[in-house]
Structure 1
Amino acid sequence: DNGFIDDVEGYVLIDWASEVISNDMLDDHGHGTHLSGIIAAQRNGVGITGIQPNAKILPLKVFNRFGKGKQLEAALAIRYAVDNGAHIINCSWGYSKKTKVLEDAIIYAQDHDVIVVAAVGNRGTDDVLYPASFEGVIGVGSVDEDMNKEWYSNYGRHVDFSAFGSQVYSSLPSNRYGPMTGTSQSAAIISGILSSIKAYQPSLTSQELYSLMQQSSSSPVVKGADKGHGMPLALGLLAEFDIEAETFDLVDKKTGKDDKDEQILSRVLNAPNPVKGTSTTVFFTAKKENLTIIVEVYKMDGTQILEASSQSVKGNNSINLDLTDMMNGVYPYTVRIEESGFSEVEKGLCVILR
């Protein structure tokens, strides 16, 4: 019981101040259905498949059939989503004026470690929109197939990442499908990618997820004014966190013998990266359990400055590194097996930018 009557499929908060609210989630505009399909359309052989088909959508309606709505209702919807367990809030909408009621709702979400993704706008200018321009919100612009900024995509300091936005094919009301264009679609793509990673590694914080996106983008260190960090390399990023990665077969099905020549360690990366705090976590996949895994961090001159270890489990592993005493810079690291009969080393690169 959350105080909202019959909200089993979401809630309508249009004209909340006038007490005109309901649980009728009919999409009379089409925008929300299109974005939901991009993120989470089911893999059923019909229409399209979303980026994270297993994601659960909590639909909250704050805009009327003309796409108009008030910031008060938008802020209430954000708080409702947080209170009802949302991990990611996709805001493919924006306002040109900032209000404290909306900003406070964003801060409320961030205080509960909920990720907020927002479209930066379709005016082709450096105009700021909210919530995309609020601190900590992931602002998303649009790029074309050549990774150039789309003509309609807003630009500026509020753009964190970019994704395809033109003629994106997805679901529409009344069991239809079709294309739509805009930074709204780009934001939904980023939300879908984040949802995929979060589903695989629920313990990742908002900062760690942002760092993973940054690390996999075309411009991981420099944030440009037109495209932010660029477009995350989705295939590479999701491969690092493939939901199937936990399933391994160490026995050759033909001979019944262990394949000792097979690579044991894979998918090595650390997050957050770049590191702005005092720690980072090295993630990797192991195909064998009870192996001693050692992470060694070096200066660029080859001097070892840090070491941490743990026993592996079959599947996904992590080792936390305390970087409190380390200065800003670039630090190579290795992840290696310390076990008789195994000799394997994987490498990574950690960047500290405080």
Structure 2
Amino acid sequence: MAIAGLLIYKFSMPPFETEKLSKDECKKNWALCKIFSNKTIIEPKDKVKIAILDSGIKEIEPLKGKVVDRFNTFDNTNIIKDEFGHGTQIASIIGANRNDLMVQGINPKVNLYDVKVLNKHGKGKEENLIKGLKWAIDKDVDIVNISLNFDNYSSEVHKLIKKGYDNNIIFIGSSGNEIGMETNYPAKFKEVVSISSIDRNENIDFLASQGKIDYVAPGVDVPTIDKEGNLSVQQGSSYASAYTTGVISILIANDFIHDIEKYTDKLGNSDVYGKGILQFK
């Protein structure tokens, strides 16, 4: 069965391995400690396959060895350069190894599939997204993170997302930064888990879209690592989407995605906060 764009699996639950976060680490990365709210990092049992449809991922030190396959939708090769920088930042939130800049990503034990659908200006066409979705679905990934938005309905994009959804792929998308206006596509599709952003005090991001929101996650003043390997503090639902992708990847890795409600903390109005924030308590 499915709930709000999230396919629900039924497995037994193995014991989690854990690692404590220090007070200094929580000062360095409040968002990491918001996700692991009891200050205990949950270690995944297995690796999860995550496709990141974005501007590309540069293999900075904390991301070395994470990308297992690549596809550039602009020239149909596996050669990718992240000129815009957004994709690398998203990847750092999801899966960066331990580092001195933002402690670590939510789930460093991931296999990343780097799909370039945005150019050096952060722009892409519908055909890029379509090619990227087809490639990711053919790779049978577990999760597709889509930290980008468009205004108009696309039947072809929706058809592909439905196909992936029916094959147990979870699509996670940023709701948009439209300052209270309606959630954008593809997050607006019912098959996509739509993510909005909150600050460290659980206030909704003033940039946030509203309407079709499934969950919220840290997305205001959150630390990332940029394509130059430097700390870059960012804001927006793109980054909140990455945090949620990290959490869901751990739940999948530990065969516990069917019990997702245990990891959901309700925060407020569902048009603004959705079901709440996904976190490990």
Q: Same fold (TM over 0.5)?
A: yes
CA distance in 1, matches of 2:259, 2:243: 15
Report the number of matched residues.
215
1:175 deviation in Å? Answer: 2.2
Answer yes or no: is 1:132 the counterpart of 2:179. no
1:58 deviation in Å? Answer: 0.5
Question: For 2:273, which of 227, 232, 241 is the aligned residue?
Answer: 227
Report what 2:69 is aligned to.
9
Query: Is the contact made by 2:68 and 2:111 (CA closer than 8 Å) also made in structure 1?
Result: no
What TM-score do the two structures reach when normalised by structure 1?
A: 0.57
Question: 1:145-190, CA deviations, whole angstroms, 9 ceiling, x for partnerless residues?
Answer: 221211101011x100001101211111122221111100000000
Report what 1:179 is aligned to.
233
CA distance in 2, matches of 1:29, 1:35: 12
Output the amino acid matched with 1:162. V
Report what 1:216 is aligned to.
263
Query: Structure 1: which 5+ residue stretches go unaligned?
Result: 1-6, 15-19, 237-354
Query: Is the contact made by 2:68 and 2:112 (CA closer than 8 Å) also made in structure 1?
Result: no
Q: Tell me, what secondary structure is at the counterpart of 2:203?
A: coil
Question: 1:213-246, CA deviations, whole angstroms, 9 ceiling, x for partnerless residues?
Answer: 44432329x87111101112x122xxxxxxxxxx
- Greater RCO (Cα-Cα under 8 Å, separation 6 or more): 2
RMSD (CA atoms): 2.0
CA distance in 1, matches of 2:234, 2:84: 12
CA distance in 1, matches of 2:262, 2:141: 25
Seen in structure 2, the aligned counterparts of structure 1 residues 138 and 10 have a Cα distance that, compared at 3 Å, is same
Report what 1:159 is aligned to.
213
CA distance in 1, matches of 2:132, 2:103: 27
Output the amino acid matched with 1:115. I
Question: 1:251-298, CA deviations, whole angstroms, 9 ceiling, x for partnerless residues?
Answer: xxxxxxxxxxxxxxxxxxxxxxxxxxxxxxxxxxxxxxxxxxxxxxxx
Report what 2:52 is aligned to.
none
What TM-score do the two structures reach when normalised by structure 2?
A: 0.71
Output the amino acid matched with 1:73. N
Query: Is the contact made by 1:214 and 1:229 (CA closer than 8 Å) also made in structure 2?
Result: no
- Structure showing greater radius of gyration is 1
Seen in structure 2, the aligned counterparts of structure 1 residues 103 and 223 have a Cα distance that, compared at 3 Å, is farther
1:66 deviation in Å? Answer: 0.9
1:44 deviation in Å? Answer: 5.5
CA distance in 2, matches of 1:8, 1:55: 10
Seen in structure 2, the aligned counterparts of structure 1 residues 141 and 58 have a Cα distance that, compared at 3 Å, is same
Seen in structure 2, the aligned counterparts of structure 1 residues 216 and 179 have a Cα distance that, compared at 3 Å, is same
Output the amino acid matched with 1:12. N
Seen in structure 2, the aligned counterparts of structure 1 residues 44 and 124 have a Cα distance that, compared at 3 Å, is closer
Give the ranges of 4+ consecutive aligned residues of structure 1 lying more than 4 Å apart after TM superposition.
44-47
CA distance in 1, matches of 2:192, 2:242: 14
Report what 1:259 is aligned to.
none
Query: Is the contact made by 2:183 and 2:213 (CA closer than 8 Å) also made in structure 1?
Result: no
Report what 1:303 is aligned to.
none
Query: Is the contact made by 1:142 and 1:183 (CA closer than 8 Å) also made in structure 2?
Result: yes
User: What does 1:89-128 align with in structure 2 at a 5 Å threshold?
Assistant: 89-128=144-183
Question: For 1:145, which of 171, 177, 200 is the aligned residue?
Answer: 200
Identity %: 25
CA distance in 1, matches of 2:171, 2:157: 12
Report what 1:189 is aligned to.
243
Structure having the larger proportion of residues in helix: 2
Question: 1:34-60, CA deviations, whole angstroms, 9 ceiling, x for partnerless residues?
Answer: 000000001356754110001111110
CA distance in 2, matches of 1:85, 1:59: 14
Q: Tell me, what secondary structure is at the counterpart of 1:117?
A: strand
